[in-house]
Structure 1
Amino acid sequence: MARSNEEVEALLREYADLLLITGGDAFRARAYEKAARSIGGHPTDVSGLDVKGLREIPNVGKSIAEKVVEYLRTGHVPAVEEARAAIPAGVRELTAIPALGPKKAMLLYEELNIASIEQLATAIEEHRLRDLKGFGPKSEENILHGIGLLRAAGGRVPLDEAMDVADDIVAALSQVPGCERAAYAGSLRRMRETVGDVDILVAAAESAAFMDAFTALPYTAEIIAHGEKKTSIRTTKGLQVDLRVLPLDSWGAGLLYFTGSKAHNIRVRAIAVRHGLKLSEYGLFETKSGKKIASRSEEDVYARLGMDWIPPTLREDRGEVKAALGGQLPTLLSESDLRGDLHTHTNLTDGLEPLENMIATAERRGYAYYAVTDHAPKLYMQQMTKEKILAQRERLRAMDRGRGRRDMRLLHGVELNIDADGEVDWPDDFLEGFDLCVASVHTQFGQDRDTMTRRFLRACENPHVNIIGHPTTRILGKRPGVDADLDAVFAACARTGTALEINAHPNRLDLSDENILRAKEHGVVFAIDSDAHSTLDLANPRYGVGMAQRAWLTTDDVINTWPLTRLRRFLRKGSGHSRDV
């Protein structure tokens, strides 16, 4: 995505927040949020568009288009700057805390003169929030947890942002004469959900040309260090990227070493010591003679230590070394194993693009089947009705009937809202007409543990709910997961034949790898879904697959790797839901 799209998206989102902080019209703020999403998801660079061209983007009206043109031309928008000036900087800092909205941030400033995260933490410790309208002990607990999330995130960035940078750098350095190999390593290669910095490795005889090309990249904001073997930069978004150039003969050992994790490397080095060997980023050596015995590939190094090659996503010291020594590593699923996507949206609700565009893009991904699951009516902002969704079904069925036997099959689904009591939007007789139903919590995230658990259990027991969408509701760095007895929910999913979603949107990655591991122990099966709201989002599954691999999942664990006939049997909930259906 062009950087200008991202910058405009950030500006419009900020203005929407500023409007809410100052008590502005909520619908106007919503309009700016929707325009921000549309521009962020627009497939081409908006920097060359005029007002007329911008207005052709969904949800971008004349006033917003004019502000965007002004920003792209001058770098400033007076309306945004006036709103910024009207709000103390500390209040805007508070809005970054998960569980604390803009209006509450402003109330804290006006009533308690709180203008920093530190002041807020102190006020909570002194129980000074409890007398304010809309606050209480549970609010204090949630805000403290949000502060903890914010502090824990530190300088870490979402997986997709780091991946975009790394892919671009690897592609650029691969074109430099003399490049033998180029790849990213570190936590990014292990597909951690957030990344602190990016490690890039190049195999080449000489390093100077690569270091110069690296520092000359267009998004380099600062050169932290420039050396012969290692150079570090900071990008315009504040992400540190380190480049190391290795001789080709050390490539495997270097890639293993710099991929990590630290705990995994310690475990592998301990195996080396037991064999009278020493492992470093330059190779595997005999301790006594210093002779190098393996280094050119990771497979060679692992094999010399008596192990199968360990996929990077497993290298977290969770038993993978023991499994590799015993020849018991699973065959992990890959992105190419996915036969379809079971959770996507169109512009009938909050998606950005029409049905035809979404289907065409999904088909280019080589899927065997594809489900459209727009929102049901209880999310009132989506303005869904029975008539609208039935009309969509007719269009989808007509398109499906016109397809050849080998073409991608189309499924008509819906994303239901799980109400506060566990009920969903429509009655059983209406839900029977859908090919599948995803059910998700979208509101009232602050319920107590027992109530939230009962809410999920009731949804699992609904005979028409096939998949629980983004199960913990978390948004990375912004909103913590709900408080529920997840083991009880996982057990209920296994008992009732309800799949749990691995929502692949990089802002969610929900379930996390830790929760996937827990759920798998209960016998749960999963769906890796894009939750796409644009054609660009249909590429999200690579991140969900990363979470699934980190949790040791195989194709048997993931329902949308199954053939359509097997998937359809699973979706007939109650007719047999084991892994052998």
Structure 2
Amino acid sequence: MTNAEIVDLLELTGRLMELHEQDAFRTRTFTAAAFNLDKSTADLANLPVEELVKLPGVGKSLAGKIREIAETGRLTELDELLAQTPSGVMDMFRIKGLGVKKIGTLWRELGIETIPDLQQACETGRVAKIKGFGVGTQDKILAALEFLQEQQGKVRMDKAAMLANLLHDLLAEHFDRVEISGQVRRKAQEVDTVQLLVQTSDPVSAMLTLNSLPNLEQNKPNSSPFAWRGRLKGFDVGVELLLNSAEQTDRQLFIQTAAEPHLQQVGAGGMSLLQAAYTSQDASEAAIYERAGLPYIVPEMREDDFAFRWAARYHADDLVTWDDLRGTLHNHSTWSDGKQSVADMANYCRELGLTYFGIADHSKTASYAGGLDAERVRQQQLEIDQLNLNYGSDFRIFKGIESDILGDGSLDYDEATLATFDYVVASVHQTLTMSIEKATSRLLRAIENPYTTILGHPTGRLLLAREGYPIDHKVIIDACAEHNVIIEINASPYRLDIDWRWIDYAMQQGVMLSINPDAHDFAGLLDMHYGVAIGRKGGLIKKMTFNALTLSEIASYFQERRAQIGKK
């Protein structure tokens, strides 16, 4: 059991205890322990009870529960609570903004036990009549339900890649060639079908082999002699395995990777890409583009005609790569809600070959995340000064902060405190329900603040979980251009925000983009791979990537910007 799995089970136990109105003190014990252990770097599964009780929020009883989870993968108390809870009530936990208490009220007062029941109760106005709800809450629930229905059967980029690689390794034991294709190869941020190509000269035997593999569940009505369709047990996303001969695999890899609008693009000779793919004697991807009379497009960008408009100004080699990144600027540590110290995070960055690490812990208003007040900012910066003394000229820690953008658009500190940072990432974290006018106005004021260096996750979205607040992207990007503010590509696969469709417009306006992992631990730093993928999808080139600047270039940038603020 991983730490995350143990914490998830403890947190779910606490939530269900609250739902069933059990002892408040015991409920808080579970929820507090889950909160504290989520930040722990200890290997919970391998700690004995006498070591577990030394961790914050863990008493002897809870330590026993953790041992039970680690040894059995289950918790008896949680199993009993789940047995008392309708599965439809469990589904309501996925609705953003609907807390445990409100779910309990809906269940007990209206007898709502399924998502369809909840939707009907909202549509008939019954939810609005409950004390503590009202029309506003009812409308928000309906909007959240609509969003969830749209996202059903999809997974994020990271889960899709994990599943695709799992299937690839499984299939490679039985077939000579297996290729990941479709949405996963195209680096779609949300995936509804994980597709792989399987090379075989005997489709009948291949299909029998696929149906003999463990955990593969075929949907026979949707399958065909050359296409196995179904699911991998435990994953809520479609799987498509296409059987091809050796002569057709390369051709089909190209065809299945590109979206239909891309394949329909016509080159100078009047031939579409799809026609070129089927008629080219050389089935390599470069040869197919050449036969169609079109410039080569990397797999990530094969969505529609945008890539060809982009190719009129740039070349595929201009696109940013992982190797182009020189540092990372939006990261958290144990000073706020991170799991590793500043020193450990910085040293891991050095191991990754990066030359600078920027710490941007939460600001004071984010008290739920251990946000730093002015005194703790000073203490952290003293620690950074000491750490930097130990590095040579080839590495440096920069002093940043992720400042909350408050309701009126102001930043979270006075000017004296803001002036102590090398840079400021300005982000919205609270009061997310806004009209497009309110959200745009709020961001504009933050962008106009001379201390704002980077605009963090501009829409606040959580993919497949929470729709972002609406903003006028052109107005925001234009303002960033005017005030020399960089825009973040939040590389967390939960966010990938700013959306890739706005990257090219930002570059056209002269706005640089920073691929920021929003890392809270070592693994989070590697999320920059997703940021690079989504950056390339949107056409991001190296010279417009802020954290592709060298250490000396970015140090000079920060110094010059602070000097300009001082002159105002």
TM-score of the two chains, using structure 2 as the length reference = 0.86
Offset at residue 534 of structure 1 (A): 1.0
Q: Distance in 2 between matches of 1:563 and 1:106?
A: 54
Distance 1:159 1:132 in 2: 39
Partner of 2:286: 299
**Alpha carbons 1:98, 1:150 under 8 Å: kept:** no
AA in 1 matched with 2:165: D
Deviation at 1:472, TM superposition (A): 1.0
Q: Which amino acid is the alignment partner of residue 452 of structure 2?
A: V
Does residue 1:162 correspond to 2:167, yes or no?
no
C-alpha contact (below 8 Å) 2:157/2:191 kept by paired residues: yes
Match of 1:509? Answer: 496
| Distance in 2 of aligned mates of 1:208 and 1:198 | 22
Structure 2: how far apart are the matches of 1:148 and 1:192? 22
Compared with structure 1, are the counterparts of its residues 556 and 457 closer, same or farther at alpha carbon in structure 2 (3 Å cutoff)? same
| Residue of structure 2 equivalent to 1:561 | 548
Alignment deviations for residues 75-119 of structure 1 (CA, whole Å, 9 cap, x no partner): 432322343355444332222123322222223334433333223
Report what 2:355 is aligned to: 368
Asked whether 1:112 is paired with 2:103, we answer no
SS at match of 1:478: coil
Amino acid at match of 1:260: A
Match of 1:398?
A: 386
Query: Secondary structure, in 3 states, of the residue corresponding to 2:470?
Result: coil
Distance in 2, matches of 1:576 and 1:377, equals 26
Question: Given that residues 19 and 29 in structure 1 are in contact (C-alpha distance below 8 angstroms), is that contact kept between their aligned partners in structure 2?
Answer: no
What is the letter of the counterpart of residue 404 of structure 2?
Answer: N
What residue number does 2:231 align with? 234
Distance 1:50 1:501 in 2: 42
Q: Which runs of 5+ in 2 are unaligned?
A: none
Q: Which digits, 9 at most, give the CA deviation of each residue in 1:54-85, with x for residues without a partner?
A: 67888766544432331343443232234335
Return the letter of the residue paired with 1:366.
G
- One-letter amino acid of the counterpart of residue 544, structure 1: G
1:406-429 CA distance string (max 9 Å, x none): 3x2211111111111222222111
Q: 1:479 offset after TM fit, Å?
A: 1.7
- Asked if the contact 2:456–2:487 (Cα under 8 Å) also holds between the matched residues in 1, the reply is yes
Once the two structures are TM-superposed, the CA of residue 451 in structure 1 deviates from its matched residue by: 3.1
Share of identical aligned residues, percent? 29
SS in 2 for 1:465: coil
Q: Which residue of 2 aligns with 1:222?
A: 217
17 and 336 in structure 1: CA distance in 2 versus 1, 3 angstrom threshold: farther
CA distance in 2, matches of 1:68, 1:212: 43
Q: What's the CA shift string for 1:195-221, capped at 9, x where partnerless? A: 112112355667899878867777x35
| Counterpart residue type for residue 388 of structure 1 | R
Q: For the residues of structure 2 that align with 1:567 and 1:117, how far apart are their CA atoms?
A: 50
| CA distance 1:33–1:487, change in 2 (3 Å) | farther
* SS of structure 1 residue aligned to 2:465: coil
Structure 1 residues 183 and 48: alpha-carbon distance in aligned structure 2, compared to 1, 3 A threshold:
farther
Q: Match for 2:338 among 351, 374, 381?
A: 351
CA distance in 2, matches of 1:429, 1:79: 52
How far apart, CA to CA, are the structure 2 residues paired with 1:261 and 1:436? 40
Find the counterpart in structure 2 of residue 437 from structure 1: 424
SS of residue paired to 2:357: strand
Residues 223 and 451 (structure 1 numbering): CA distance in 2 closer, same or farther, change over 3 Å? closer
Structure 1 residue 529 displacement after superposition: 0.7
Q: 2-side partners of 1:400 and 1:207: how far apart?
A: 61
Question: Displacement of 1:360 after TM fit?
Answer: 2.0
Give 2:441's aligned amino acid: R
Contact 1:99 1:478 in 2 (8 A): no
Moved more, 379-388 or 58-67: 58-67
* Contact 1:439/1:469 (8 A) holds in 2: yes
Instruction: Say whether the 8 Å CA contact 1:502–1:527 is kept in structure 2.
Output: yes
Shift of the alpha carbon at 1:526?
Answer: 1.6
1:378 Cα offset (Å): 1.4
Displacement after TM superposition at 1:506 (Å): 1.0
| 1:70–1:77 contact (8 Å) kept in structure 2 | yes
Counterpart of 2:367 in structure 1 is: 380
Cα distance in 2 for partners of 1:28, 1:520 equals: 50
Q: Are 2:174 and 1:186 aligned?
A: no
Q: Is the 8 A contact 2:297 2:307 kept in 1?
A: yes
**Partner residue, 1:284:** 278
Please say if residues 259 and 303 of structure 2, whose CA atoms lie closer than 8 Å, have aligned partners that are also in contact.
yes
CA gap 1:278/1:128 in 2 versus in 1, 3 angstroms:
closer
1:251 counterpart letter in structure 2: T
Q: Distance in 1 between matches of 2:58 and 2:246?
A: 51
Q: What residue identity is the alignment partner of 1:155?
A: G
- Pair 1:122 & 2:110 matched: no
Q: Quick one: distance in 1 between partners of 2:156 and 2:48?
A: 31
Aligned partner of 1:288 in structure 2 is none
> Mean Cα displacement is larger for which, 185-194 or 270-279?
270-279
SS of structure 1 residue aligned to 2:194: strand
Give the secondary-structure state (helix, strand or coil) at the position aligned to 1:375: coil
Query: 1:432-462: CA deviations, max 9, x gaps?
Result: 1111111211111124443333321221122
SS of match in other structure, 1:163: helix
Deviation at 1:254, TM superposition (A): 1.5
Which of the numbers 183, 197, 216 marks the counterpart of 2:193? 197
Alignment of 1:21-100 (within 5 A): 21-22=19-20, 24=24, 28=29, 30-34=31-35, 37-38=38-39, 50-51=48-49, 62-85=60-83, 87-100=85-98
Matching residue of 1:259: 257
Pairwise CA distance, 1:135: 3.6
The Cα shift of 1:351 comes to 0.8
Structure 2 SS opposite 1:201 = strand
Q: Shift of the alpha carbon at 1:256?
A: 0.8
Deviates more, 1:17-26 or 1:563-572: 17-26
2:15 aligned residue: 17
2:460 corresponds to which of 473, 492, 510: 473
Mean CA deviation greater in 73-82 or 46-55? 46-55
Aligned partners of 1:514 and 1:63: how far apart in 2?
Answer: 51
Q: Secondary structure of 2:361's partner?
A: strand
